Structure 1
């Protein structure tokens, strides 16, 4: 049985971290995890699924002692594949895997945006270090054609890039009225309140500031923000300055994303920097209408795959107008709050079992084992 060590920077609540936890349940190979910075909110959940989690104890971005510690772990484990996730883990993990003599080293690029990576500016030094260590690996997996194009723009050779999108367990997000009631009770939301929702790390590129301003202009709807991050304080102060403190619910990071989605009536995703848009797909799987600004998971596909999703520009007036229209429409609907739409075809395109199988073939057979080679966006249709 193929043995794989997944190396990731940390295991807090984030898109890449949640995607890894989901993959671990579906990959048909033996997996363990090494977290560079120690445990996190998801570490115990992963251990609960029977997967070993090793904490490397990296103390900062320049803690070079993490490399020999990780190399020793890899050498002792005798892994067939090392699979790295997120910038620091990709840089340190590729070096350690090369030192340990691992035969195959794969990296997934989750967070490469326009001019930034994981929220940090993509300076010349950041790019040089990324490219130098990228060559130590076997292949880089892009989670969307958009990311593949950005990697090529950075100078990664097209032949070293394959596209395997993120996956979703649609059944886990199927709407449950009882879950909606429980979650709303927990956050003090009345059964008949119309709720705008958002899910993600509280960082500037998510543009939750725009969403707070848009909701503050409306009469009635409240905003549920499910996520943690460094922008929480500034966002709370913005809500207070706009007189909307009582109408913005900061839920914090949560393992129950499905519950948060159940409590919402529309998912709002005004982020300007996305590599895939997993939260949008999860909301569509929950039967929610979605309004978004950037989502490669939708934008890289032909039109018509997600009729419940509408793209909006990054303008407060556009968001306020559209959210107000949806709220008024819900008030006039016979079915009332909590109604759900049909799950659109796009959700089925990204089934987690298929994406996990494609990764497993990549582990066994290399780039010709079932992954798409770095195509242009219009050529790419996920299996």
Structure 2
């Protein structure tokens, strides 16, 4: 295997996008990246890493001209393997790879929930198109046992499914007191304030409105920062204003995750349909106490693997009660737990190379 091409729907700040960047720092295989849309923050980071990133300029889901453009790009690049990430890239990328004559096609399923896919409601048409194009590849990677189970329920043959959990580079998320002070100063958070935080795309299903409501019922010194961008931003701003906490709810947009984690005191994952929980794992690497509604990365390990994490019920009331309990303890940092070492990015890259070799040899 000489060269690989990774195709992804977009390169804004999101779990799949950040995972791709982390993998490319460890994979022993020269790789280029094509983003169908939105060459955002992660595209700039990849280029700074020395990775060639091409923006295909796809206009929308019905831009069928993207298929021949992508096929030409694959053919010109002489790639031995094509790896697709996220729904639109998987559908268009698998078709284009086959048209270009590449047979070793691997797809990673990052965000398949019970009722939503990448924050959008699942429809029969979405599912049918996914299954039809899945057959054009040779392997489908699930980022957790939970996702693998959903793929089997959909009808993807078990022998085509490979569980390769996401990975992180723990040293990137180590607590940094200087970053804490700088981020808090930039956000206008007093040094003695308690900062509750969440990270992720501002989309339905992440539970961010419940988190805003939960913090609105807590004392004045408690602030909330939601690091990410997405279509719910305006709605979250309006909700905070209606609840009278606009000054306590901070929406800085896309920002460096390690630095903002250092600024937090408690991390909350309020998502009810998480497929892995990368942000929660990164928060554990930063030593934060983590409250999570659902997080396969933690739930699929023994409880002792993440002593700083606690599973809580969904909804604003339950989140508020859990935060009160957490805040009654003086905010503190935990040692990096075994769960973080279990998901080391080097291990993930090694398992992915095994999938690549199997896909090429079939």
The structural deviation recorded for 1:368 is 9.6
Q: Which residue of 2 aligns with 1:235?
A: 236
Distance 1:304 1:155 in 2: 34
Quick check: 1:221–1:327 contact (8 Å CA) kept in 2?
no
Task: Tell me, yes or no, if structure 1 residue 269 matches structure 2 residue 262.
Answer: no
Structure 2 counterparts to residues 50-199 of structure 1, below 5 A:
50-199=50-199
Distance 1:249 1:368 in 2: 50
Task: Tell me, yes or no, if structure 1 residue 329 matches structure 2 residue 336.
Answer: no
Distance 1:49 1:37 in 2: 20
Distance 1:344 1:6 in 2: 31
Structure 2 counterparts to residues 309-324 of structure 1, below 5 A:
309-324=309-324
Task: Tell me, yes or no, if structure 1 residue 350 matches structure 2 residue 351.
Answer: no
What is the alpha-carbon root mean square deviation over aligned residues?
1.4
TM-score normalised over the length of structure 1: 0.92
Q: Which residue of 2 aligns with 1:378?
A: none
Task: Tell me, yes or no, if structure 1 residue 225 matches structure 2 residue 226.
Answer: yes
Distance 2:276 2:324 in 1: 27
Q: Which residue of 2 aligns with 1:300?
A: 300
The structural deviation recorded for 1:98 is 0.5
SS, match of residue 230 in structure 2: coil
Quick check: 2:97–2:105 contact (8 Å CA) kept in 1?
yes
SS, match of residue 202 in structure 1: coil
Quick check: 1:362–1:368 contact (8 Å CA) kept in 2?
no
SS, match of residue 32 in structure 1: strand
The structural deviation recorded for 1:325 is 2.3
Give the 3 Å change call, closer, same or farther, for CA 319–367 of structure 1 in structure 2.
farther
Quick check: 2:103–2:137 contact (8 Å CA) kept in 1?
no
The structural deviation recorded for 1:192 is 1.3
The count of residues paired between Structure 1 and Structure 2 equals 361
**Which segments of 5 or more consecutive residues in structure 1 lack a partner in the other structure?**
331-336, 370-383
Quick check: 2:86–2:109 contact (8 Å CA) kept in 1?
yes
Give the 3 Å change call, closer, same or farther, for CA 170–295 of structure 1 in structure 2.
same
Structure 2 counterparts to residues 364-375 of structure 1, below 5 A:
364-366=357-359
Quick check: 2:106–2:359 contact (8 Å CA) kept in 1?
no
More deviation, 201-210/114-123:
114-123
Distance 1:161 1:3 in 2: 23
SS, match of residue 206 in structure 1: coil
Distance 2:34 2:262 in 1: 33
TM-score normalised over the length of structure 2: 0.97
Q: Which residue of 1 aligns with 2:352?
A: 359
Distance 2:172 2:188 in 1: 24
The structural deviation recorded for 1:367 is 9.2
The CA deviation string for residues 4-51 of structure 1, in whole angstroms up to 9 with x for no partner, is 000011111111011111111111100000111252222121111111
Quick check: 2:269–2:293 contact (8 Å CA) kept in 1?
yes
Give the 3 Å change call, closer, same or farther, for CA 346–89 of structure 1 in structure 2.
same
Quick check: 2:139–2:355 contact (8 Å CA) kept in 1?
no
The CA deviation string for residues 155-192 of structure 1, in whole angstroms up to 9 with x for no partner, is 11111100001010100001111111111111111111
Q: Which residue of 2 aligns with 1:381?
A: none
Quick check: 1:164–1:359 contact (8 Å CA) kept in 2?
yes
Q: Which residue of 2 aligns with 1:334?
A: none
